[in-house]
Amino acid sequence: MYTKGIAVVAITRRGVETALKIQQTLEKAGLNSKVYAPKKYNQNGVVPLEAKFGDFTRENYRTLDALVGVMAAGIIIRAVAPLLESKLSDPAVVCVDSTGKFVISLLSGHYGGANELARIIADGIGGTAVITTASEAMGKQSVDELARILHLSIQNPESLVGVNSAIVNGDKLVLVLVGNIDVPLDPISCYEVKKAQNGVEALEIINNYDAGIIITGEPVSIHKFVKPFTILKAKRLVIGLGARKEASIDSIIQAVWTGLKLANVPIANVTSFATVDIKRDSPEMLKAVEQLGKPLEFLSVDALASVNHEDLSPDSKLVQEKIGVGGVCERAALLAAGKNPKLLLKKTKLNGVTVAIAEGEYA
């Protein structure tokens, strides 16, 4: 979440003070951000805003995970309105008044993470988070929020209105796990959980309820069906690892747990680990991953060197000289993650171990 970055934009002197407090709060939460403001309010840690806010928004809207505007809500609404596409692709948009009293989730509250971001900011600066999505207001969990928490992709977004309406209205709901899908059940609320061998059986189960959700790793045929249902498809989550020769089992495990915490990913969601094939002879790496309970994939130097992705960090000359490729953990994670991979956690170093986490789609 928020791997492409968070822009915090202020347009007044008081707003800049609040924006810098927001940046400090985000840093404590492990989230990177940049503060932008007009040149006349420039100070350390603030990037000069070269264009009007509307122009800045238009130029950067698709390159950001989140936009935090420290200004009146109307200014933000007018800027983003012409750019809106879908709740599944629009970035999170949060409005904060210049004094930091109210933190309002404006756009992409569930799937885009604006609700969560508003809470983080409000808790950090002493403001009040304003969340207006119906399910949140009633203390219930929407389908898109569940998809975000469990790192699942929504296959039939046109179903969201019907299923979320059923949730808000207190209808009888079921969540069906298809095949060998295994997801952590702790984050799941307000649904009965059932298991099915295939999509046909899953739909038969849903027919006994008012609405349902199917979680699967395989394609499910969508045909005419009376009850509203949403298909959530499991994603591959791969942890890429790199480690110095002297790295211990404990240091590798600690680095993994740190990475999971930073990316807000439960170990239960992880599909596998991946590293360079020269680590086949590392008993520390093998034993650490064995203790973590997931398979480990070894990738050749040539395969890693072939990875070309916009999320990659700059190459390390030292690693390039030692093994013939400029980095291991990010490349390994992206390569093993499947189709359309992206990094949830860029290269993170801890005690001689590097960790990256990538998310991708099953073929």
The predicted pLDDT at position 310 comes to 86
Per-residue model confidence as pLDDT tens digits over 270-288: 999 999 999 999 999 999 9
Question: Is the pLDDT confidence value at 157 over 80?
Answer: yes
Instruction: Read off the pLDDT band of 261 (50, 70, 90).
Output: confident
Question: Is the pLDDT confidence value at 151 over 90?
Answer: no
Instruction: Read off the pLDDT band of 164 (50, 70, 90).
Output: confident
Average of per-residue pLDDT values in the chain: 89
Per-residue model confidence as pLDDT tens digits over 22-36: 999 999 888 889 999
Question: Is the pLDDT confidence value at 134 over 70?
Answer: no
> What sign has the CA pseudo-torsion 16, 313, 64, 350?
negative
The predicted pLDDT at position 235 comes to 83
The predicted pLDDT at position 332 comes to 96
The predicted pLDDT at position 143 comes to 86
pTM, 2 dp: 0.65
For the ranges 115-119, 250-254, 323-327, the maximum mean pLDDT occurs at: 250-254
The predicted pLDDT at position 222 comes to 64
> What's the average model confidence in pLDDT over 199-221?
86
The predicted pLDDT at position 101 comes to 95
Question: Is the pLDDT confidence value at 138 over 80?
Answer: no
Instruction: Read off the pLDDT band of 153 (50, 70, 90).
Output: confident
Task: Give the residue with greater pLDDT, 217 vs 50.
Answer: 50
In the chain, pLDDT over 70 holds for what percent of residues? 94
> What's the average model confidence in pLDDT over 71-95?
92
For the ranges 101-105, 135-139, 359-363, the maximum mean pLDDT occurs at: 101-105
> What's the average model confidence in pLDDT over 136-153?
78
Task: Give the residue with greater pLDDT, 155 vs 123.
Answer: 123
The predicted pLDDT at position 363 comes to 64
Question: Is the pLDDT confidence value at 67 over 90?
Answer: yes
